[in-house]
Structure 1
């Protein structure tokens, strides 16, 4: 079976992406061949092209952190495996490999997508939805009536965080640039411009502090995120966007952030700080990781199907325009997810 893939050959700009055609083997034991209907652009690809993602594979490789597609062929399945069928729509977290028109995956990593949920809409909630749901409900354990801060509330993860928090009865203060204030308000958050004295503005809105802060920015600003917390509050750090364009080791940036969070956890003030890693636990407890991911995505797809949560798609690009998709995602103007879809037959 032929596959068309987008390859990142080395450190470089979006223009360095290449198109590759290769033959895929037939699915073996426990595998599935999936025809990709939608993949997406995440912050991970932005770091990977700079060589700064902390556990990225060696070059060259196919980017694509997640996908939604249809099963074209199934290999023999192990006893007790989750029932799957040819023609079924499924989602998968891949970390790499999603920017292709066909992929060969482990069937155990596939999550069924409910009937009636469009592929591109479901795709916006795979990485972003799983990240947001787990940070809210498994890490911060928010409760109805809480107030939280979501940095980058107009972005891919941020816009989902806002919606899931609002669905749980949580008040959200969402930071964004001035041009995205209206979009953030439409999601149900109280918009705040991240420029200026952000800490003072948050304290005006929540004088006693907030129950949780979700910070993908990192850098020096994470100190203010810590100061926003109420006693017993939780800081969830899940990225270092402020250091994206800096030269040097991405691993060193993460280690510095981890050291700071660890130090804060030692302080006797009742607050806690966590670094969120979506893949934590898969290597040691793969079955549990897969079961929880399946549970979380099923909840999220149900909310999407009911209209409680909506998919925020900024723009879609055909596969052969992956470079333009990556460039647009990095522009800072996107509201929601940038999605990559299959090429039209003429392309």
Structure 2
């Protein structure tokens, strides 16, 4: 096992994709309560794109190994862990550390991947799938017959969100550039071109009475339009600030502004609600509950994949050694789904 050697990608600071470093070392040994996972698939999320710019809300200090999630096989177990886990394919939500050939993870944080689901398929649905599932079913509580708007309907989270919403019986309006409209129509989504159309005006034409939910990863000034698209009783779920990705200055300020808007809107007596979605909310205070909910939600997402409600959207697969190319592809805005990294 140790003869393989450890390979990991290090983010040394605010660098261009070519500045990411490949580091070699010894394969770590699991401690008490840990498992050693041989990574089979990890991926590039919007979080890592922000981290590269030093703009992710609570990223660690440089240097560090990025990688929000991974799928792989348990190679070894530490003291206090069921040795029967060895040889099991599992998924894990990490926030950082996944861009490595071998990763130590708390055994309580891994979720088994059902037989018949490939590593790359599963990888597209860990952070993206859990985020989409929770926003749809736990936050907005979307029901059959409702109308929802998904901004960035071709993206990593958006592409899962539109499929889960359609499976729940909702009508979906999704924004994307024209090249993705045929696929969206095939999924029963009404597409709106955010590059050439006045998005808010077009959505008002499609839903004159307002919509029941808007899922907004863009943030910035456009979040006000998203709020005004809501029907009485509607829900706005803000889960990012993509519009500020390339801005200079504090990476925390855009999030604080969003939180301020959410607080003010919720103080208004109009029956509408706004949320800023944080996947990690409650983890530090109620770790056991957080883990149980993660397991339950990811299990639901994997079941949706097995039923055919969701299709894994793999934009491309590249090895860790081609991280610069993979990062540029993920940031290009030209792909649908997720860029997956393999060992």
Fold equivalence (TM over 0.5): yes
Classify the secondary structure of the residue corresponding to 1:219: coil
| Structure 1: 5+ residue stretches without partners | 343-347
- Which residue of 52, 55, 71 corresponds with 2:55? 52
CA contact (8 A) 1:162 1:188 kept: no
CA contact (8 A) 2:217 2:242 kept: yes
* Partner of residue 68, structure 2: 65
Partner deviation per Cα, 1:242-273 (whole Å, 9 max, x = no partner): 01001000101111111111111111111010
For 1:249-288, list aligned pairs within 5 A: 249-288=250-289
* Partner of residue 206, structure 1: 207
Classify the secondary structure of the residue corresponding to 1:247: coil
Per the TM alignment, residue 32 of structure 1 is displaced from its structure 2 partner at its CA by 0.1
* Partner of residue 121, structure 2: 121
* Partner of residue 316, structure 2: 315
CA contact (8 A) 2:28 2:36 kept: no
Per the TM alignment, residue 306 of structure 1 is displaced from its structure 2 partner at its CA by 2.3
Partner deviation per Cα, 1:28-72 (whole Å, 9 max, x = no partner): 111000000000100001000100001000111111100000000
Distance (whole Å) between structure 2 residues aligned to residue 309 and residue 198 of structure 1: 26
CA contact (8 A) 2:41 2:119 kept: yes
Distance (whole Å) between structure 2 residues aligned to residue 52 and residue 25 of structure 1: 30
Classify the secondary structure of the residue corresponding to 2:221: helix
Classify the secondary structure of the residue corresponding to 1:222: helix
Classify the secondary structure of the residue corresponding to 2:266: helix
Distance (whole Å) between structure 2 residues aligned to residue 223 and residue 276 of structure 1: 16
2:160 is the alignment partner of 1:160: yes
Classify the secondary structure of the residue corresponding to 1:154: coil
* Partner of residue 337, structure 2: 336
TM-score of the pair, normalised by structure 1:
0.96
Classify the secondary structure of the residue corresponding to 1:340: strand
Partner deviation per Cα, 1:48-104 (whole Å, 9 max, x = no partner): 0100001000111111100000000011226xx8x9511100000011111111101
* Partner of residue 345, structure 1: none
Per the TM alignment, residue 187 of structure 1 is displaced from its structure 2 partner at its CA by 2.8
Distance (whole Å) between structure 2 residues aligned to residue 256 and residue 308 of structure 1: 36
Classify the secondary structure of the residue corresponding to 1:73: strand
| Structure 2: 5+ residue stretches without partners | none
CA contact (8 A) 2:32 2:79 kept: yes
Distance (whole Å) between structure 2 residues aligned to residue 53 and residue 297 of structure 1: 24
2:25 is the alignment partner of 1:25: no
C-alpha spacing 1:188/1:76, structure 2 compared with 1 (3 Å): farther
CA contact (8 A) 2:9 2:21 kept: yes
For 1:1-347, list aligned pairs within 5 A: 1=2, 2-77=5-80, 85-195=85-195, 196-342=197-343
Give the root-mean-square deviation of aligned CA atoms: 1.2
CA contact (8 A) 1:236 1:276 kept: yes
Aligned length: 339
CA contact (8 A) 2:28 2:102 kept: no
Partner deviation per Cα, 1:133-162 (whole Å, 9 max, x = no partner): 000011001111111000000000000000
Distance (whole Å) between structure 1 residues aligned to residue 99 and residue 17 of structure 2: 13
Moved over 6 A (4+): none
CA contact (8 A) 1:183 1:335 kept: no
Distance (whole Å) between structure 1 residues aligned to residue 191 and residue 316 of structure 2: 23
Per the TM alignment, residue 223 of structure 1 is displaced from its structure 2 partner at its CA by 0.7
Distance (whole Å) between structure 2 residues aligned to residue 187 and residue 95 of structure 1: 30
Classify the secondary structure of the residue corresponding to 1:111: strand
TM-score of the pair, normalised by structure 2:
0.97
CA contact (8 A) 1:238 1:275 kept: yes
Distance (whole Å) between structure 2 residues aligned to residue 28 and residue 318 of structure 1: 28
